[in-house]
A and B are shown apart, each in its own frame.
Chain A
Amino acid sequence: MSRLEPRPEPSRRMMLASPLIAALAMLLTGSVLFFFLGQEPLHAFYVYFIKPASSWYGVGELLLKATPLILCGIGLAIGFRANVANIGADGQLTMGAIAAGSVALYFDDVQAGWLLPLMLVAGALGGMAWAAIPALLRTRFNTSEILVSLMLVYIAYLYLSYLVHGPLRDPAGFNFPQSKMFNDAAMLPLLMEGLRTNAAFLIALLAVAGAWFFCSRTFAGYRMQVSGVAPAAALYAGFSEPRNVWAAFMISGALSGIAGVGEVAGPLGQLQPSVSPGYGFAAIIVAYVGRLHPLGVLLAALLMSLLYIGGEAAQIELQLPSAITGLFQGLLLFYLLAADLFIHYRFKPRHRAAPAALGENA
């Protein structure tokens, strides 16, 4: 580390460049990996990263898979800004899906316009209820929200599994562990004929705009930011920590819950033993790669979504294991963390290695 020196102040340019560097490093590693898997690197690269998004249908899929990542990522980013390490978005998403799905199945014979809004509200409340547990335990009992929110993910998975194997199983479904298909009134409208992208994407865009407004234009957002960057200053200013924790969890719970609605009232159309291939965890990466900024989260979610659909394409066309997606996701975050070093440090040119006490302020 001797050739690194601290920058006088954090580099803004590096702050924006580092996610790009990380993405490039990941793509490069990917190509090398393709080579070792016996693929022609350029062709595999094309199949994985370019072809899936080069048709209208592909773009639709990209937006479809980006939707839950945006919603969860925004919620997590707002929390991370305030030093609230909520990593249980996947559980909140699952509970939102369960709540909305239960409403849809209960009103199975209703063909009315109020059903969908009710499902969205139920989904948001389901996610918030699940997020309230770590918020309560952290503010009341000083319990790590990291561990509690994560434990609750597994509990939510098991609860969903119980429901689709038991009370909510489709009686006419040949004992498959899944619910009845929802009726049309319980399905989110599609944005365009022929694409699977649904109205949840618009909600996600609204969430981006809302989060931007909340973070940069409201006092509550400011309080949370100060608590994250300078906890001591926040304490001195009298900003309440419990209030921040609650705000972070409620926002994340509501958004993740809505993400769950987007899945069951969208591409799935029913409750299944699993309603998310780990979107809530991928959203952690999305939040960090997006620099905890709403616009950044939007872009990072698109990149992450490309990893998902690219992985599927590579599995079909190149017989690559689908697990490669998870590998790329993990690598992306590692590269980001490493590249972030250069926000605070820079290489010391060799000729300046001599003591530079006098030039300190220059």
Chain B
Amino acid sequence: MNAELLIAFLASTAGAATPLILASLGELVTERSGVLNLGLEGMMLVGAVSGFAVTLGTGSMTLGLLAAMGAGLLMALIFGVLVLSLQTNQVATGLALTLFGIGLSAFIGHGLAGQTVAPLPHLHFPLLSDLPFVGPLLFRFDALVYASLLLVAGISWMLARSRLGLVIRAVGESPHSAHAIGFHVTGLRYGTVLFGGAMAGLGGAYMSLALTPMWVEGMTAGRGWIALAQVVFATWKPRGVLLGAYLFGGVTVLQFHGQGFGLAIPSEFLSMLPYLATIVVLVLICRNPQTILLNKPMSLGQNFKAD
């Protein structure tokens, strides 16, 4: 193993971590308001295909990313109308959203297979990017990698320190009390659900526009579910999402660098690692019921209807 290989490994870890951070952060905000959206995988897929299709059609990466966020938002709106207005079961509706998203994305993406776009450009900071070792490790990523880090900090601050964060947490802990004080629980939850959708769409688009700049049916391959699990590992705290995503990013890219590191294991087994790691970490976190009880939003998964 040499330094070059290690740098390549660490740098691609950031790429693999970014879609997980984006999707997890959105879901985290949704869950902090008490809503469990299991449709993450579906929203990511629809985001991925929409972003790719729009970028391919218009040539504009910005429009593509915006379209992906819009598509994720629309998907989340379906979920919101069903769960928040029509009071459907959150688990069943989330599963429906994922299954629908898988079908819809394959339908939209029919005919897009095999085409590629130029990937999201990497930034180049004068001087910094050219530094040996530190340059490729810290200063040569695309803008969304940095944006995802800023979002972790921003959402962390928002939830812990701002008035909006306080209201979101209040609604998530006890929608009835929040309603009694005069907060608009359903309206706020629409906001967090839509935010979660936009972030999932963006996370999906990162995969189809930056990681592997093409559309492949079902390309998220369970990332949405890993992102969901990550909210649990992170005990519903943004900085935990950051740690978890980089850990899983590393495990995910191990399959591409496994041979370089001298691992003589069939590639399928290396590809299993992110899923296995998810199970192992879930067990480690959940085996202590106190950890979950203390951190999980009290009303998570329960519907609220103002009388």
Contact = CB atoms under 8 A, between A and B. Distances in A.
Contacts of A282: 99
Interface of B is mostly: helix
Contacts of B78: 334
B279 A331 contact: no
A152 B228 CA distance: 15
A185 interface: no
B28 to A, nearest CB: 15
B91 A337 contact: no
Contacts of B42: 330
Contact of B279 (A148, A165, A327, A330): A148
A185 B226 CA distance: 42
A252 to B, nearest CB: 15
B278 interface: yes
A87 B95 contact: yes
A140 B289 CA distance: 11
A147 B229 contact: yes
A327 B54 CA distance: 20
Given A326-B102, A328-B103, A159 B268 contact: yes
Contacts of A344: 87
Interface string B267-302: 011011001101100110011010010000000000
Give the interface size class of chain A: 35 or more
Contacts of B103: 323-330
A166 interface: yes
Contact of A337 (B89, B109, B278, B287): B89
B104 A330 contact: yes
B101 A1 contact: no
Nearest to B99: A330
Nearest to B186: A1
Contact of A330 (B102, B266, B271): B102
Contact of A326 (B82, B99, B275, B279): B99
B110 interface: yes
A152 to B, nearest CB: 8
A11 interface: no
Nearest to A285: B99
Determine which residue in A85, A152, A161, A327 has the highest number of CB atoms from chain B within 10 A of its CB, and name it.
A327
Contacts of B276: 151, 155
A150 B274 CA distance: 13
B286 A141 contact: yes
Interface in A37-89: 85, 87
A174 B278 CA distance: 37
B275 A284 contact: no
A103 B269 CA distance: 23
B283 A143 contact: yes
Nearest to B284: A141
B128 interface: no
B107 A148 contact: no
B99 A147 contact: no
Contacts of A151: 222, 225-226, 229, 275-276, 278-279
Contacts of A150: 222, 225
B162 interface: no
A154 interface: yes
Given A147-B282, A150-B222, A337-B93, A155 B100 contact: no
A338 interface: yes
A357 B82 CA distance: 29
A341 interface: yes
B40 to A, nearest CB: 11
Interface in A136-165: 137, 140-144, 146-148, 150-155, 158-159, 161-162, 165
Contact of A338 (B82, B229, B287): B82
B96 interface: yes
Nearest to B285: A143
A211 interface: no
A262 B282 CA distance: 33
B264 to A, nearest CB: 13
Contacts of A1: 85, 305
Contacts of B82: 334, 337-338
Given A151-B222, A326-B106, A334 B96 contact: yes
Contacts of A321: 106-107, 110-111
B73 interface: no
Determine which residue in B101, B106, B217 has the highest number of CB atoms from chain A within 10 A of its CB, and name it.
B106
A337 B286 contact: no
B221 interface: yes
A152 B100 CA distance: 21
B92 interface: yes
B95 A284 contact: yes
Nearest to B218: A278
A144 B283 CA distance: 9
A288 interface: yes
A330 B110 contact: no
A281 interface: yes
9 contacts: A143-B283, A154-B221, A162-B266, A326-B99, A326-B102, A329-B103, A333-B95, A337-B82, A337-B88
Interface of B: 38, 42, 78, 82, 85-89, 91-93, 95-96, 99-104, 106-107, 109-111, 217, 221-222, 225-226, 228-229, 232, 266, 268-269, 271-272, 275-276, 278-279, 282-283, 286-287, 289, 292, 305
